[in-house]
Amino acid sequence: MNILKINITVMKKTHYFVLFLLALSCQNLHSQGLESALTQGRISGNFQLEAQTYTQDSLINAPEAKERVLSNGFFNLNYNAGTFSAGLRYEAYQNPILGLDPQYKGSGIAYRFADYNGEFIQVTAGDFYEQFGSGMIFRAYEERALGLDNAMDGFRIKLRPTNSIELTALIGKQRFFWGKGDGLVRGGDMNIELNQALSLELPFNIKIGGSVISKYQYDSDPFLRLPQNVFAYSTRASLSGTSFLFDVEYGQKYNDPNASNLNSYNKGYGLMLSGSYFERGFSVAVAAHKLDNMDFRSDRTATGNNLMLSYIPPINKQNTYKLPNIYPYSTKLNGEVGLQTDVNYVFQPKSLFGGKYGTSLNFNYSRIHSIDTLHLNEYKYKSDFLSVGDRLYYEDLSLSVSKKLHSNFKGALTFMHITYDTDILDNEGAAKFGNTNGNIIILEGTYKFNAKNALRMELQNLWAKQDSSYFIKDKQNGDWALALLEYSYSPHWFVTISDDYNYGNEFEAKRLHYYNLSLTYIESASRIQLSWGRQKQGVICVGGVCRQVPASNGLYLSVSTSF
């Protein structure tokens, strides 16, 4: 009965969902299944709201918002009864916080679905997220920090004829703000666990998979003859044992002239290789990839992060510390060659370097280059798949030591070196800033007073220098220092105070402090955060996908809960 009451209260705003349930109940009034669904079902969901006030701060180029307060809100409501589930998401951008595309302005039901998930078959109607393999030719996902949501709206079928085989087929269109993209996406995916499927008794597991995607978009371009159906495929294999993992994936896309590749009719290629070895106290991971013309979207005219089909996991170190993220790397889907090595080693307790509690070491090296291309004409270029371009886009090297020094105190020291092609990454490739070389030192320590009270501290310094032949300072501009103190009274309260200081700015008037004070309260699944301070202009990236963040000065409120 409670469920019905909840449904009625939500009805005003969630008419799609309720209409769907009503339609279901009309058609199956006497169905045992429905009765049990309504009596045994469970409602779950979550809520998230972030709001920011904007005060003009001309020193950091922070604008004032006409509305004074901007906010983004999300409310997910899911109903689950055994094999059946349905749900929706209400979103309200009133108006979108700065940095998000203002085309999100408005509110409404942005996502709704119904799903039957039996043992053999799963059918989804409506909106869904999905990923084939690593995502090289298809990934529909949501990343709120980036304002990215390329959910599919259509049908998806998954078949599991045996425990070792899963087949997926889908058709639909992708979300484009409050509408749908022009392109129609069709695709299929297969995953097979070979050991089980062939009853092999091997000391390692073998998984293989393959995917196909084709998108259709009407060609009404008056200048070019464009392919209306563009096809892409990928194949992959994974070998895993108790101490190792090896993955390979290769994808290809047929001619796909689009806005991002400047109407190139070349095919696209992608190869990803990764291997890792791990044992107690030691692990090493190596990854490499080559991408050539792999920006694949359901609408050939789409730009920014809109209507993406392809996703390539980043190959550089993903930093959690703030100053290294001043120079984040965004994956160049249309051409890059990358290599990454990551090594972890633990000196055991009571060894020479381990001391009483042991010592952990992490070493990472990433290097990303352009690809070598030779333009044959306006629409075609030649690129040897095994060649590497001369231009270094990005390089990072980091060494980190973390150690528990006392029963109440643990610390970590990190050194990083970054080389960042600012023209490619911040300026569309036009000559302006040159490369930036950065050296970073980070010291982190946590002192636990007792089971409830702890104090965490971060000290970071970035020395950044641009190539001497360029005199225009990049947007990050010189040396930075950061100090952060976080006091936690667990499990409920967290107070953080931090200051990012751009002491090395070329212009004396811009040697500013970006202070921030934050108070967080957590109560089981609910979290409330209130912050006040300055946010520098920059770029945030999640998984190699980035967006611009404008400077801001004001109060920030975030409330989230799940039920």
Partner 1 sequence: MKKYMMIIATIALALLSMSCDEINGNYVENSPITVDTSKVVQKFLLEDYTGYQCGNCPKAHEEAHKILELYPHQVIVLGVHAGSFAEPYAAHPYDFRTPIGTIYDEFFGNSEAGNPNGMINRMKFNDSYIVRHTKWASAITEMINDEPTLGIKLEPSYSDIDRKITVKVDMNYLKNSTQSDYLCVLISENNIIQYQKDYSNKENPDSLHYNHEHVLRGGITSAWGEQVSAAPISANQKFTKTLTFTIPNNDWKIEDLNIVAYVYSKEKSYQILQAESKKLK
Nearer to partner 1, 183 or 328 (CB): 183
Q: Which is nearer to partner 1, 212 or 481 (CB)?
A: 212
- C-beta of 35 vs 219, nearer to partner 1: 219
Closest among 422, 405, 425, 421 to 413, alpha carbons compared: 405
Two tokens, residue 551:
């400077």
Least distance in Å: CB of 378 to partner 1? 8
Q: Which of residues 356-395 bind partner 1 (CB under 8 A)?
A: 379
Cα–Cα distance for residue pair 560/46, rounded to 1 Å: 7
Q: Which of 105, 448, 456, 510 binds partner 1 (CB under 8 A)?
A: 105
Looking only at residues 256 through 275 of this chain, which bind partner 1 when binding is defined by CB under 8 A? 257, 259, 265
Residue number with CB closer to partner 1 (266 or 518): 266
- Contact between residue 324 and residue 440 where contact means Cβ atoms under 8 Å apart: yes
Query: Binding of partner 1 at residue 92 (CB under 8 A)?
Result: no
Q: What is the Cα–Cα distance from 251 to 30, expressed in whole angstroms?
A: 49
Give the separation between CA 314 and CA 312, rounded to whole angstroms: 6
State the nearest-atom distance from the C-beta of 430 to partner 1, in Å. 4
Residue 50 or 101 with smaller CB distance to partner 1: 101
CB 392 within 8 A of CB 369: yes
Q: How far apart are CA 491 and CA 489, in angstroms?
A: 6
Cβ distance to partner 1 smaller for residue 283 or 301: 301
User: Does 448 help bind partner 1 (rule: CB under 8 A)?
Assistant: no
Residue 239 is a binding residue for partner 1 (CB under 8 A): no
Selected from 33, 241, 429, 491, the binder of partner 1 by CB under 8 A is: 429
First to last CA, the chain: 18
> Residue 84: CB partners within 8 Å, gap ≥ 6?
33, 37, 114, 115, 116, 117
Tokens representing 66 are 């006409």
Q: Rounded distance, CA 7 to CA 14, Å?
A: 9
93 lies in the site for partner 1, by CB under 8 A = no
Closest contact distance (angstroms) between CB of 212 and partner 1 is: 5
Cβ distance to partner 1 smaller for residue 217 or 476:
217
CB of 391 to partner 1, least distance (A): 12
Site for partner 1 in 159-188 (CB under 8 A): 159, 161, 167-169, 171, 176-182, 186-188
Site string for partner 1, 121-160 (x = CB under 8 A): x-----------------------------------x-x-
- Rounded distance between C-alpha atoms, residue 132 and residue 120, angstroms: 20
Nearer to partner 1, 35 or 221 (CB): 221
For residues 77 and 546, which CB has a smaller minimum distance to partner 1 in the complex? 546
Q: Of 141, 121, 122, 115, which Cα lies nearest the Cα of 130?
A: 141
C-beta atoms surrounding 128 within 10 Å: 18
Judged by CB under 8 A, the chain residues 7 through 46 that form the site for partner 1 are none
Contact present, 412 and 401 (Cβ < 8 Å): yes
Q: Is 109 in the site for partner 1 (CB under 8 A)?
A: no
Rule CB under 8 A: which of 197-236 touch partner 1? 212-214, 216, 219-231
User: Which among 101-109, 243-251, 381-389, 523-531 is the span making contact with partner 1, rule CB under 8 A?
Assistant: 101-109
CB of 228 to partner 1, least distance (A): 6
Q: What distance lies between CA 45 and its chain's CA centroid? A: 22
- H/E stretch holding 299 reads none
Q: List binders of partner 1 among 449-508 (CB under 8 A).
A: none
CB nearer partner 1, residue 125 or residue 413:
125
Structure token digits, residue 350? 């009571």
**CB neighbours (10 Å) of residue 418?**
26
Neighbours of 69 (CB within 10 A): 15
Site track 278-317 with partner 1 (rule: CB under 8 A), x = hit:
----------------------xxxxx-------------
- Span of 81-89, 96-104, 410-418, 462-470 interacting with partner 1 by CB under 8 A: 96-104
Element containing residue 37 per DSSP (H, E): helix 32-40
Determine how many CB atoms are found less than 10 A away from the CB of residue 402. Answer: 16
- How near is the Cβ of 231 to partner 1 at its closest, in Å? 3
Rounded to whole angstroms, how far apart are CA atoms 505 and 466?
12
The bridge status of strand 381-382 relative to strand 84-93 is unpaired
Please report how close the Cβ of residue 255 comes to partner 1 at its closest, in angstroms: 6
Contact 137, 253 (CB under 8 A): yes
Q: Among residues 80 and 228, whose Cβ is nearest to partner 1?
A: 228
The nearer residue to partner 1, 146 or 416, going by C-beta atoms, is 146
| Gap between the Cα atoms of 211 and 234, Å rounded | 5
CA atoms within a 13 Å half-sphere pointing along the CA-CB vector of 452: 4
Nearer to partner 1, 13 or 105 (CB): 105
CB-nearer residue toward partner 1: 27 or 223: 223
Q: Does 255 bind partner 1 (CB under 8 A)?
A: yes
Give the binding range for partner 1 (CB under 8 A) out of 109-117, 359-367, 421-429, 450-458. 421-429
Contacts of partner 1 in 55-74 (CB under 8 A): 63, 66
Identify the sign of the CA torsion 57, 62, 66, 70.
Answer: negative
Rg (CA), the chain: 26
d(CA 329, CA 367): 11
Would you tell me which residues interact with partner 1 (CB under 8 A)?
63, 66, 101-103, 105, 120-121, 157, 159, 161, 167-169, 171, 176-182, 186-190, 212-214, 216, 219-231, 254-255, 257, 259, 265, 300-304, 379, 427-432, 548
